[in-house]
Amino acid sequence: MNWLKRLCSNGFVNRLLISAYAGKCIENSTKVLGLDFKNRVGLAAGFDKNALFLKELATLGFGHIEIGTVTPRPQEGNEKPRLFRLKEDRALINRMGFNNDGVEAVVERLQRWEGQKANHLGIMIGGNIGKNKSTPNEHAYLDYDICFRKLYDHVDYFVVNVSSPNTPGLRELQEKESLRKILTHLQDIRAEKGLRKPLLLKIAPDLSNEQIDDVIALAQEIKLDGLVAANTTINRQHLSDAGKLRSGTIGAGGLSGKPLRQRATEIVQRIHDKTNGQIPVIASGGVFTAADAEEKLNAGAALVQVWTGFIYEGPAIVKNICRGL
């Protein structure tokens, strides 16, 4: 990414890259969440946590970029090493722990980005927000409050992250009443604003079907704008024998990539079926190719996101998926 930043700093080279990548990714425009997306392929949260590479990622053709997870205060995250490849399974394991520069630094970068209109290329920016590790769960809603207010004028939509497995106790906030407290509080803040920004919730693939149904029921009850399915998993059962052996030496963390594909699609399908397609879903998990993206779209997703696929497939992933679709 740092090399790509250097290349994009040269105006002539940047125009060549835009022509080669972003210029091929405009055939699948769609309107979702009341927003106009130039294509259906976005970059999931956790890659550009700190809004450092917006221009470069736009050049590669992404229709949207979800920055974050952003927390109120900067935090270093978990001890390194904390990111591992399982090449035999086309997967990653991470236990990053919401390492980020804090919401103030991210807002400053977004403000600079807003002043560089020529670089935007029609890209949508999502803000994925979370709580600091040191914040007790009973006060978590206040961390989401801070990030929501500070980012409100600088992103196009929000995603509440209570489903990362790498912050102790965070997933407890997926319980129905805890979710209600956070989400309705943010909806109350939004009601004070002049411009309505879509608010979504990202869920874990490790929820039982009954827990997913509780989330769906709450989303319908409070008229949530959408869901993101799904975050990384702590499940290792779909790994190859070599992957299971290696994951045992790696230790804890969230698994992403090909082994998550089937479960993520099942969740998308369940949300679509239970709501008759009335709640928009952004699908994330195991998207490497146009066929993977089409599987998610056929299951009821409105948009797809890549992350691990970007690592393994390289900078042409968006172009290739858009062409295939």
Is 164 marked active-site?
yes
Selecting among 163, 164, 256, 284, the annotated active-site residue is 164
Evaluate whether 39 touches 317 at the Cβ level (below 8 Å). Answer: no
For 31, other C-beta atoms within 10 Å of its C-beta total 9
Residue 38, helix vs strand vs coil: coil
Distance between CA atoms of 229 and 301, rounded to whole angstroms? 9
Structure tokens at 62: 């992404």
Q: Which has the closest alpha carbon to 282: 247, 259, 307?
A: 307
Distance between CA atoms of 232 and 214, rounded to whole angstroms? 20
Give Cβ neighbours of residue 188 (< 8 Å, ≥ 6 apart): none
Find the DSSP H helices in the chain. Answer: 2-8, 11-20, 54-59, 103-114, 140-151, 176-192, 209-221, 241-250, 261-275, 290-299, 308-313, 317-324
Q: CA-CA distances (angstroms) from residue 247 to 87, 94, 259, 275? A: 11, 11, 13, 36
Residues tagged active-site: 164
